[in-house]
Amino acid sequence: KQEVTQIPAALSVPEGENLVLNCSFTDSAIYNLQWFRQDPGKGLTSLLLIQSSQREQTSGRLNASLDKSSGRSTLYIAASQPGDSATYLCAARNDMRFGAGTRLTVKP
């Protein structure tokens, strides 16, 4: 059974910093890995999806990488802004297991 872990559980940074969120998974037989953000009391917003054959995906200030052999993915956020404050979740797509998330706070 797939286990997904996200580190750190919480992160607080000043505005403008670049930061990295980590996601690890135990079963490398995934179709893809998807990153989401969730604002309090809201649903999930899809950020990036990396197929198992890909190494990285970029969207604006976000860059996600995938290393299947080591069971790891990272989400890099450049020049963080207060509007980036949210919980970030990764999901390993064989049986759609989510990590517990990283709660990000970006201070003005």
Partner 1 sequence: DTEVTQTPKHLVMGMTNKKSLKCEQHMGHRAMYWYKQKAKKPPELMFVYSYEKLSINESVPSRFSPECPNSSLLNLHLHALQPEDSALYLCASSQAGGNQPQHFGDGTRLSIL
Kindly state the smallest distance separating residue 45's Cβ from partner 1, in Å: 7
Kindly state the smallest distance separating residue 96's Cβ from partner 1, in Å: 5
Kindly state the smallest distance separating residue 82's Cβ from partner 1, in Å: 22
Using CB under 8 A as the binding rule, the residues of this chain from 31 to 60 that contact partner 1 are 31-32, 34, 36, 41-46, 49, 51-52
| Residue 63, Cβ density class (10 Å: 0-12 exposed, 13-18 middle, ≥19 buried) | middle
**Strand 102-107 with 56-59, pairing:** unpaired
- 8 Å CB contact between 65 and 73: yes
Kindly state the smallest distance separating residue 18's Cβ from partner 1, in Å: 25
The smaller minimum CB distance to partner 1, of residues 43 and 60, is found at 43
**Residue recorded with tokens 């963080």:** 80
Structure token pair of residue 59: 């969207």
- 8 Å CB contact between 32 and 93: yes
Q: Which residues are at the interface with partner 1 (CB under 8 A)?
A: 31-32, 34, 36, 41-46, 49, 51-52, 89, 91, 93-96, 98-101
